[in-house]
Amino acid sequence: MTERMRSWSLKGRDRDLSLIEVSRPAVQPHTVLVRVEAVSLNYRDKAIVDSGMGLTLPYPIVPGSDMAGTVVAVGREVSEFREGDRVVSTFWGGWQEGSGERFNGPDGPSLGGMLPGVLSEYLGLPETWLTHAPQSLSAAEASTLPCAALTAWTALMLHGGLQAGETVLVQGTGGVALFGLQFARMAGAQAIVLTRGADKARRATELGASHVIDREQTPDWGAAVRELTGGRGAEHVLEVAGGNLDQSLEALAQGGHVAVVGLLADLSVHAFIPRMIARRARIQAVGVGHRRAQQDMIRAIDANGIRPVIDGRYAFTALPEAFAHVDRGPFGKVVIELGQG
């Protein structure tokens, strides 16, 4: 095995990206050396390479937070993994379970932010920063799980306590939203999808959405959700855009749960407090999730045959083109496959 590898380096804001050659990580007693096979891109990764997401980053850095690969070597103190195991990263480096106080906030120890990211041919990570990959998924599919899928799982299953027969309102058709749709269907719940355009509406319906609302044609979509549910409202809302909280509350059932998971449109939220009180709303901010939740989610994915939606696949050398696809707003996930170049 060569001692050198290729890695993407972010030298500063405005996508100052370069593909460079560096030394391959050495195996330490508690680390696992992984050959990276696929990396999925998140909106958070786009924000990091564009603006630094408001953080004082230690440039140059390696971007990217979500990867899947194969173990090629393990340190002498590693007990959970062995050579040949298929693995995926965890978003927060070291958050095993519980409240995770030191993992809260954008400057916490997350891969591809304050910590080096995953857009390299090889990674050396502590074994507690990895989980086994689903047996039923390819590397490209498995790479989509650590941020987008786990955010939806934490919001709906861990915090929301999603039950069969309930209704989930999913905002958009990005990675978190579509995993939310799939987890809702897995739990026996209905999913209403809020999106734009006939093509995305059709694809969301094919994926199992009970109803689709075009937000451009129906600006008062909160009232539309109540109408579709016979006046009851949705028990769960995946609030991914930011700034939509008042509409989300209009759509919410009594005692319902709003999971605030994103800020695509606005860094602030706007809500009419009497409506919040009238709905007896439970509002929960979600910051991805911990390793134990990821392990639970992966078992559920294997047991229920859930397959992530990948909208675009790119070679390792085509990272700028992959980010351009993220800019356009994919239906699902955009993935870098390292076997392609």
Question: Is the pLDDT higher at 2 or at 8?
Answer: 8
Q: How confident is the model at residue 50 (pLDDT cuts 50, 70, 90)?
A: very high
Strand runs (DSSP E) across the chain, as ranges?
4-10, 17-23, 31-41, 66-74, 86-89, 122-126, 130-132, 167-171, 190-195, 211-214, 234-239, 252-260, 282-285, 310-315, 333-337
Which of the four pLDDT bands, split at 50, 70 and 90, describes residue 278? confident
In this prediction, residue 264 carries a pLDDT of 58
Mean pLDDT along residues 231-254: 91
Lowest-pLDDT range of 122-131, 237-246, 288-297, 304-313 = 237-246
**Architecture in CATH for domain 4-144+308-340:** Alpha-Beta Complex (3.90)
Give the per-residue pLDDT at 244.
72
Q: For residues 242 and 117, which has the higher predicted lDDT (pLDDT)?
A: 117
- pLDDT for position 90: 96
What rounded mean pLDDT belongs to the chain? 93
Q: What pLDDT does 263 receive? A: 66
Is CATH 3.40.50.620 correct for 150-285?
Answer: no
Q: What does the buried/exposed string (b/e) look like for 6-33 if buried means 16 or more CB atoms within 10 Å of the residue's CB?
A: bbbbbeeeebebeeeeeebbebeeebbb
Cα separation, 286 vs 55, whole angstroms: 19
Residue with tokens 């959700």: 225
Q: Is the pLDDT of residue 119 over 90?
A: yes
Q: Is-above-0.85 flag for pTM?
A: yes
Domain ranges of the chain: 4-144+308-340, 150-285
Q: Give the mean pLDDT of 9-30.
A: 96
- Per residue in 162-194, pLDDT tens? 999 999 999 999 999 999 999 999 999 999 999
Q: Do domains 4-144+308-340 and 150-285 have the same CATH topology?
A: no
Residue 273 confidence class, pLDDT cut points 50, 70, 90: confident
Task: Answer yes or no: is pLDDT of 75 > 60.
Answer: yes
pLDDT digits (tens, 9 = 90+) for 131-151: 999 999 999 999 999 999 999
Q: What is the pLDDT of residue 265?
A: 56
The answer to whether residue 103 scores a pLDDT higher than 90 is: no
**Rounded mean pLDDT, 318-336:** 97
Angle, vertex CA 147, rays to CA 324 and CA 79, nearest 5: 130
